[in-house]
């Protein structure tokens, strides 16, 4: 198995109002090993749906077809509803956007981080507790012993997101999928949380799929990047090359970001007709 | 004469026996024609200052002058002030009535202020933000986030305000759509004498748009 993730010709459609079908993703193909892959694009480009599909969490109404859809040797196309729970958390972990809505408000932090361990393994209580404390410590949270007794509302957004990452790491999955993991956080915390994600992924030789609307973030932290436009792959390449891409869509997305250097000027905007024509 | 002249502005509330200062001794002036930025993290008090300028938060103390005239705390904005100051909100969906058509949403301020030629002025306002008249019969849920924000801006401009308050106007939007909205705001400013106060947590947006800025933290101006 040379590749961790292998997606070929993925197409996802939804029933549309008026009887037709809305094609949310069209003939998407990509493969990755134990590397950091960024998927960027505007809202509605299909990047989150790709993440959800790899976690078995796409909406039920979605009709999914693919020639290949594999993660760590698992053929996701053949999965029955029973197969998903054993896969999620153990093979692929998902970190969502907002810790406030992803954590259960009525369970302690310790309980929630422990949940994947309880689900996937039969371990003595003491070992479970040690692994939970180690995972919380690994994401840089202070005083894990007190933390496990707290509830989500007692944490800040940055701490909540660290807890989410710890809950995903505790089972050591092969692939971590992070869907806009920092967009609910203040600017100052974003880099910290990303650096943490990157360092745990690298030290455990896991694969990372980072879904983000922020091209600069992906250029800084990922090895490779896919750029999606309206369900299709518009551009792909080394993440560090994003700023110099000659692709019309990628270069406009990069250049349309405001800064002190653009003060008083009009920003470049997307010429959607030209982009559609170039795809 | 400054468009906005705030001095010693305070907002606080009691929590048990403690007094929590949301805005703590803030003083600032915004001059005619400027784009002025209020930057800060969540909870820094920047949106509270903006809401006071909009007349949406009357519980403050200190001194506030708008267009040279003093505004009293614990009072509602009346008369011309309600036309001269307009606001664009962060979430365009939450600020547009979901079951009203765009025409009705845009007609309302004109009807309230007893303006003539409502239909023609709505068409004109739509054209100004890049829409044809046919969009007037749609409802907010049929529009994208960027389109909704353009409707929010069209509504704010309908009464020819002198001061436009922008509360994170692009933070719910894609960067590509943000560029379109920022360009729209820049273009509007080139065609009429208007003053902007822009609240944002995004330093790049503020650096792009603003002539001057202050940074707020913990209710105070820190830079």
State the nearest Cα–Cα gap between B180 and chain A, in angstroms: 6
> Per the CB < 8 Å rule, is A213 touching B205?
no
Number of neighbouring beta carbons within 10 Å of residue A183: 15
pLDDT value, residue A54:
96
A188 touching B (Cβ < 8 Å): yes
Q: Residue A266 has what DSSP assignment?
A: P
Q: What is the pTM of this model?
A: 0.84
- Mutate which of B40, B141, B143, B179 to test chain A, going by most A C-beta atoms within 10 A? B179
> Per the CB < 8 Å rule, is B182 touching A258?
yes
Q: Residue A107 has what DSSP assignment?
A: S
Q: How far apart are CA B91 and CA B73, in angstroms?
A: 27
State the nearest Cα–Cα gap between B146 and chain A, in angstroms: 11
Contacts of B186 in chain A (CB under 8 A): 264-266
Q: Are A114 and A144 in contact (CB under 8 A)?
A: no
Tokens of B172: 């719910």
Q: Are B29 and B5 in contact (CB under 8 A)?
A: yes
Calculate the alpha carbon distances from B31 to B37, B54, B91 in Å. Answer: 12, 17, 27
- Mutate which of B43, B44, B208 to test chain A, going by most A C-beta atoms within 10 A? B208
> Per the CB < 8 Å rule, is A256 touching B42?
no
Contacts of B177 in chain A (CB under 8 A): 42
B207 touching A (Cβ < 8 Å): yes
- Cα maximum dimension of chain B: 57
Q: Residue B89 has what DSSP assignment?
A: -
Tokens of B185: 């705001």
Contacts of B204 in chain A (CB under 8 A): 257-260
> Per the CB < 8 Å rule, is B208 touching A213?
no
A33 touching B (Cβ < 8 Å): no
Nearest to B183 among A187, A263, A267 (CB): A267
CB pairs under 8 A between A and B: 61
Tokens 């090895």 correspond to what residue?
Answer: A223
Q: How far apart are CA B206 and CA A18, in angstroms?
A: 43
**Could you tell me the sign of the dihedral formed by the alpha carbons of A256, A257, A262, A266, in that order?**
positive
Helix (H) or strand (E) holding A26: strand A21-32
B44 touching A (Cβ < 8 Å): no
Q: How many residues does chain B have?
A: 223
Nearest to A39 by CA among A272, A170, A160, A215: A215
Nearest to A224 by CA among A212, A200, A242, A206: A242
Contacts of B180 in chain A (CB under 8 A): 269
Q: How far apart are CA B102 and CA B96, in angstroms?
A: 9
Tell me the per-residue pLDDT of B130-183, one tens digit each, with 9 for 90 and over.
899 999 999 998 888 889 999 999 999 999 999 999 999 998 888 888 999 999
Number of neighbouring beta carbons within 10 Å of residue B54: 17
pLDDT value, residue B185:
95
pLDDT value, residue B182:
95
> Per the CB < 8 Å rule, is B176 touching A269?
yes
> Per the CB < 8 Å rule, is A256 touching B203?
no
Shortest CA distance from A42: residue in chain B: B174
Q: How far apart are CA B109 and CA B10, in angstroms?
A: 31
Residues of chain B short of pLDDT 50, as ranges, are none
Residues of chain A short of pLDDT 50, as ranges, are 1
State the nearest Cα–Cα gap between B102 and chain A, in angstroms: 21
A257 touching B (Cβ < 8 Å): yes
Shortest CA distance from A270: residue in chain B: B176
Q: How far apart are CA A220 and CA A3, in angstroms?
A: 23
- The DSSP line for chain B is --SEEEEEEEEEEEETTEEEEEEEEEEEEE-TT-EEEEEE-TTSSHHHHHHHHTTS----EEEEEETTEEE-TT----TTHHHHEEEE-S-TTTTS-TTS-HHHHHHHHHHHTT-S-HHHHHHHHHHHTT--GGGGGS-GGGS-HHHHHHHHHHHHHTT--SEEEEESTTTTS-HHHHHHHHHHHHHHHHHS--EEEEEES-HHHHHHH-SEEEEEETTEE--
Nearest to A175 by CA among A266, A55, A63, A255: A55
pLDDT value, residue A2:
53
Query: Angle at CA A118, nearest 5°, toward A36 and A199?
Result: 25
Number of neighbouring beta carbons within 10 Å of residue B17: 5
pLDDT value, residue A16:
84
C-alpha A244, offset from chain centre = 24
B182 touching A (Cβ < 8 Å): yes
> Per the CB < 8 Å rule, is B204 touching A187?
no
Cβ partners under 8 Å of residue A173, min gap 6: A89, A90, A91, A92, A93, A206
A18 touching B (Cβ < 8 Å): no
- Mutate which of A45, A158, A267 to test chain B, going by most B C-beta atoms within 10 A? A267
pLDDT value, residue A1:
42
Q: How far apart are CA A273 and CA B167, in angstroms?
A: 31
Tokens of B53: 């300028």
């Amino acid at each position: 198995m040379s590749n961790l993730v292998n997606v070929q010709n993925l197409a996802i459609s939804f029933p549309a109002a008026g009887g037709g079908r809305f094609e949310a993703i069209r003939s998407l193909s990509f493969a990755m090993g134990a590397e950091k892959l960024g998927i960027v694009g505007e809202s509605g480009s299909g990047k989150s749906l790709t993440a959800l599909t790899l976690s078995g969490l796409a909406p039920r109404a979605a009709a999914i077809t693919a020639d290949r859809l594999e993660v760590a040797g698992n053929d996701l196309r053949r999965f029955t509803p029973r197969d998903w729970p054993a896969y999620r958390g153990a093979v692929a972990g998902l970190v969502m956007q907002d810790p406030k809505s992803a954590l259960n408000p009525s369970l302690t932090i310790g309980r929630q981080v422990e949940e994947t361990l309880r689900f996937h393994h039969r371990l003595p209580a003491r070992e479970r507790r040690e692994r939970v404390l180690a995972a919380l410590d690994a994401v840089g949270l202070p005083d894990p012993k007190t933390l496990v007794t707290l509830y989500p509302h007692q944490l800040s957004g940055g701490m909540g997101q660290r807890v989410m990452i710890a809950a995903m790491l505790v089972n050591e999955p092969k692939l971590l999928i992070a869907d806009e993991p920092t967009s609910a956080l203040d600017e100052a915390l974003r880099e910290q949380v990303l650096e943490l994600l990157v360092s745990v992924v690298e030290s455990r030789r896991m694969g990372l799929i980072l879904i983000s609307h922020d091209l600069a973030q992906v250029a800084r932290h990922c090895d490779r990047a896919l750029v999606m436009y309206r369900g299709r792959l518009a551009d792909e390449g080394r993440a560090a090359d994003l700023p110099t891409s000659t692709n019309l869509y990628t270069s406009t997305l990069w250049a349309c970001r405001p800064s002190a250097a653009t003060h008083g000027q009009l920003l470049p905007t997307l010429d959607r007709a030209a982009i559609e024509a170039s795809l | 004469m400054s468009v906005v002249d705030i001095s010693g502005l305070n907002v606080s509330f009691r929590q048990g026996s403690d007094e929590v200062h949301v805005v703590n001794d803030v003083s600032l002036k915004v001059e005619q024609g400027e784009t002025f930025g209020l930057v800060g993290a969540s909870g820094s008090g920047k949106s509270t200052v903006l809401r006071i300028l909009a007349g949406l938060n009357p519980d403050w103390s200190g001194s506030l002058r708008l267009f040279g005239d003093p505004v009293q705390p614990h009072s509602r904005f009346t008369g011309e002030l309600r036309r001269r100051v307009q606001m664009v909100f962060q979430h365009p969906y939450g600020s547009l009535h979901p079951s009203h058509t765009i025409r009705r949403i845009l007609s309302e301020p004109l009807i309230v202020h007893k303006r003539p030629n409502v239909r023609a002025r709505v068409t004109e306002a739509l054209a100004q933000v890049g829409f044809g008249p046919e969009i007037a019969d749609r409802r907010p849920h049929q529009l994208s986030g960027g389109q909704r924000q353009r409707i929010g801006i069209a509504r704010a401009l309908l009464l020819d305000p002198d001061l436009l308050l922008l509360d994170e106007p692009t933070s719910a939007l894609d960067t590509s759509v943000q560029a379109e909205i920022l360009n729209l705001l820049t273009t509007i400013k080139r065609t009429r004498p208007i003053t902007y106060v822009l609240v944002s947590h995004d330093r790049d947006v503020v650096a792009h748009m603003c002539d001057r800025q202050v940074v707020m933290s913990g209710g105070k101006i820190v830079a």
